[in-house]
């Protein structure tokens, strides 16, 4: 299936070039502008450079930028992957701890209920003891 290609004219280092590309026209112009800017910067440092040599050196400089950015991207991806791995581990740990906290709160709540039951039972027993003591004291007199 053929791609739709658009013809875009770009001006690089004083010459116009017709570029046939499936890429967006504005994007192609942006690339052309970037190459023109880089060639102009390079040649401004040495006016004796021929157009061909200027183009080759510009291509080398842009390739250098590309390789450096690829290296930087690789390093960032490795850092991202490590951080993601750490995040996933910590999230799992957090989920486990949250579940454990929930269970501990449930157990604590059950113990608290048991304490309340025992306090009520203790109060009843104390009342019974007082009643028995009071009846015993009445019976002794």
Q: Answer whether residue 4 is part of any domain.
A: yes
Q: Answer whether residue 41 is part of any domain.
A: yes
Is the CA virtual torsion 78, 81, 85, 87 positive or negative?
Answer: positive
Q: Residues 14-53: pLDDT tens digits?
A: 999 999 999 999 999 999 999 999 999 999 988 899 999 9
Whole domain around residue 1: which residue ranges?
Answer: 1-49
Q: Residues 46-90: pLDDT tens digits?
A: 889 999 999 999 999 999 999 999 999 999 999 999 999 999 999
Q: Give the number of domains in the chain.
A: 1
Name the nearest CA neighbour of 58 among 69, 70, 46: 46
Q: Answer whether residue 38 is part of any domain.
A: yes
Q: Answer whether residue 44 is part of any domain.
A: yes
Q: Answer whether residue 86 is part of any domain.
A: no
């Amino acid at each position: 299936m053929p791609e739709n290609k658009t013809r875009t004219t770009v001006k690089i280092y004083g010459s116009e070039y017709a570029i046939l590309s499936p890429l967006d026209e504005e994007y192609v112009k942006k690339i052309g502008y970037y190459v023109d800017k880089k060639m102009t910067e390079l040649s401004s440092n040495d006016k004796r450079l021929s157009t061909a040599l200027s183009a080759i050196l510009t291509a080398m400089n842009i390739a250098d930028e590309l390789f450096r950015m690829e290296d930087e991207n690789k390093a960032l991806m490795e850092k991202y992957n490590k951080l993601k791995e750490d995040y996933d581990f910590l999230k799992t740990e957090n989920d486990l701890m949250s579940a454990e906290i929930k269970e501990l709160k449930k157990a604590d709540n059950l113990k608290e209920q048991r304490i309340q039951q025992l306090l009520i039972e203790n109060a009843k027993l104390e009342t019974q003891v007082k009643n028995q003591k009071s009846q015993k004291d009445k019976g002794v007199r």
